[in-house]
Amino acid sequence: MKHSFIWQGRNDGEGEAHLRIHQVINTQAHASYALIGFSSDEGVKRNKGRLGAADAPDAIRAQLANLPVHQALSIADLGTVICVDGDLEKAQAELADQVEVCLSSGSQTIVLGGGHEVAFGSFSGLFQYVQKHQPNQTIGIINFDAHFDLREADHVSSGTPFLNAAHLLAQYQQEFHYLCIGVAKHANTQVLFETADRLNCRYIYDQALRESNLDAITLKINQFIEKVDVLYVTVDLDVFSASIAPGVSAPAVKGIDLSVFDPLFQAIKNSGKIKVFDVAECNPKFDLDNRTAKLAAYIIFNYLFD
């Protein structure tokens, strides 16, 4: 773990009403929330995407630092797991261990990616925690993403994390509960749809994600959540339109809108079942005016505050 980011920003005055996140982070011994960075785009490289996501954790932190604190918040920054010399498997294992430690200390974990290979590390950490502490509990995965990320490959990559998760669960004779929201038909091959169907995945097309359809979609999501005990929620920023998320590995031609995402994300949060949450595929190298990093920080802000 590397601790190099300096939390700093505006100071508007004395008193709680003026506080920003940089003023409250790392100030309490036991934090309700813990941030972990995951500096890697090795999985994107293996998946033949455009590189730059390794720089995301600190870019997102910089946008989080100045956001206001609207209610009591205890949050810690535990540093960043770095993928060294292309050893993605080692980095994912290290992330998993850090996530497990976080959960064992009672902190909800927020992971800042990095390529979407972050997902297998985040999931594995939750899996390890559940195996040790609540082995009878069922894990559900909700992925906001244009892509299934169920790719068959010889090595783990940003395209394989949920198939990797399915295989891990199968080793322990456990069911794979996976809901992918925002799937773009033009961004997934037929074999990926066949894999999703074979694994009994649930998915909602990007074209269905309209404000007029919110009640029906929320019902689908709640039906999925009811069947599981704890949730791992991951947001791949390429699920959004390139106009608000230009800095990603694979920018979306269509993408979903925040007016739809926000209420769905709120509904999932309201379940009280989220244990691990991450944002993935922020790529500062291709960002414009920090739009994508700001979007990631905005989503995390909405996760932290009611």
Tokens linked to 176 = 């794979």
Annotated ligand binding at 177? The verdict is no
Annotated ligand binding at 197? The verdict is no
CB atoms within 10 A of CB 143: 26
Annotated ligand binding at 87? The verdict is no
The series of mean pLDDT values per 10 residues for the chain, 306 residues long, is 93 93 95 98 93 97 97 97 97 98 97 97 98 97 98 96 98 97 96 98 97 98 98 98 93 92 98 98 97 98 96
Residue 53 belongs to a domain with what CATH number? 3.40.800.10
List pLDDT tens digits, range 24-61: 999 998 999 999 999 999 999 999 999 999 999 999 99
Annotated ligand binding at 306? The verdict is no
| Residue 4 located in a structural domain | no
List pLDDT tens digits, range 150-192: 999 999 999 999 999 999 999 999 999 999 999 999 999 999 9
**Which of left, alpha, beta for 123 (phi over 0: left; psi -120 to 50: alpha)?**
alpha
**Which of left, alpha, beta for 282 (phi over 0: left; psi -120 to 50: alpha)?**
beta
| Residue 7 located in a structural domain | no
| Residue 5 located in a structural domain | no
- Which residue range forms the structural domain that includes residue 233? 16-304
| Residue 194 located in a structural domain | yes
Annotated ligand binding at 116? The verdict is yes
Helices and strands per DSSP (H, E), number in the chain: 10, 8
Annotated ligand binding at 215? The verdict is no
